[in-house]
Amino acid sequence: MTELVAKDITVDAGSATLVRDASLTLSPGELVAILGPNGAGKTSLLRAALGLLDTSGGTATLAGKDVATMPAAERARLVSYLPQRRPLAWPNTVRDIVALGRFAHGAALGKLGPQDAAAVASAISACDLEALAERNADTLSGGEIARVHFARALAASAPLLVADEPTAALDPLHQLGIAELLRRFVDAGGGALVVLHDIALAARFADRLLWMRHGQVVAAGPPAETLTRERIRDVYGVHAHVATDAHGFDVRIEAAQ
């Protein structure tokens, strides 16, 4: 089983500590959402867990191997990473951008084998991009570009997917669409670790919530156990209404603390 395990991760930047003694696990068949305010250390923890950021302490393994020494191509075949900042170097077509997800499998633009082409077509379809497949990326809206990048991550066909704010810049309809895609990916046997700012969306779709504050993990567990008024107040410094309805959790921010 391909599992991502980070234990007691600490990340320092000069005199500042970005992450302190933080741990997480990600296994196939689960969706884990990381929640916390800006500057809580969420992105730094993700990058450190993937071996993309130097650590001052702790360990991180992927499929039992140290991520820091794992070849990049091997890592990319095991976990697809969608970073928070996703600039496009040139205005390729949507299909070509999605095809970049197959590079770890040895594919090249214009030379996709049958399995690569099928993975690209499936990802484009899953993200509702068929009508845009031959459009250049510089003609798309920010929300459309976000869906293209998510399709690229899906096209990699890795057993694990790590995404940093995949719903940023999306309207509510497409936020919901990305969350449903993540859920389907997990229900089909994948494992997904995502940073989200929408607490209600995270609670509706995630199996576990990992709450961060000041670089530390302050709570982790199922939404029913960890999502409370007190938790939101302690983590975000705001008062909130928390209840359940037919669709799951109803979370409304009421006022600053």
pLDDT for 53-110, tens place per residue? Answer: 999 999 999 999 999 999 998 998 999 999 987 666 667 899 999 998 888 777 666 6
Tokens of 199: 């607490």
Tell me which of 102 and 231 has the higher pLDDT.
Answer: 231
pLDDT for 137-150, tens place per residue? Answer: 889 887 788 889 88
Most confident by average pLDDT, 78-92, 213-227, 231-245: 213-227
Q: How confident is the model at residue 230 (pLDDT cuts 50, 70, 90)?
A: very high
Query: Is residue 24 pLDDT above 70, yes or no?
Result: yes
Residue 47: per-residue pLDDT: 96
Identity of the amino acid at 243 = A
Torsion angle in degrees (nearest 10) through CA of 1, 114, 104, 153: -70
Please give the radius of gyration of the chain, using alpha carbons only, rounded to the nearest integer: 18
Residue 110: per-residue pLDDT: 66
Neighbours of 116 (CB within 10 A): 20
Residue 28: per-residue pLDDT: 96
Q: What share of the chain is helix, strand, coil (3-state, %, to 5)?
A: 40, 30, 30
Element (H or E) spanning 67, and its range?
A: none
Q: How confident is the model at residue 198 (pLDDT cuts 50, 70, 90)?
A: very high
Residue 240: CA atoms inside 13 Å, Cβ hemisphere, count? 22
By the 8 A CB rule, do 249 and 35 touch? no
**What are 42's strand-pairing partners?**
none
Give dist(CA 210, CA 138) in Å, integer. Answer: 36
Give dist(CA 52, CA 46) in Å, integer. Answer: 9
Residue 111: per-residue pLDDT: 72
Residue 50: CA atoms inside 13 Å, Cβ hemisphere, count? 25
Query: Which of 10-19, 168-177, 242-251 shows the lowest mean pLDDT across its residues?
Result: 242-251
Query: Is residue 233 pLDDT above 80, yes or no?
Result: yes
Residue 252: per-residue pLDDT: 82
Residue 174: per-residue pLDDT: 83
Q: Which of 250, 175, 172 is nearest to 163 (CA)?
A: 175
Share of the chain above pLDDT 90, in %: 67
Residue 189: per-residue pLDDT: 95
Give exposure, 80-105, as e/b (b: 16+ Cβ within 10 Å).
bbbbeebeeeeebbbbbbbbbbbbbb
**Distant-in-sequence, close-in-space partners of 114: CB < 8 Å, separation ≥ 6:** none
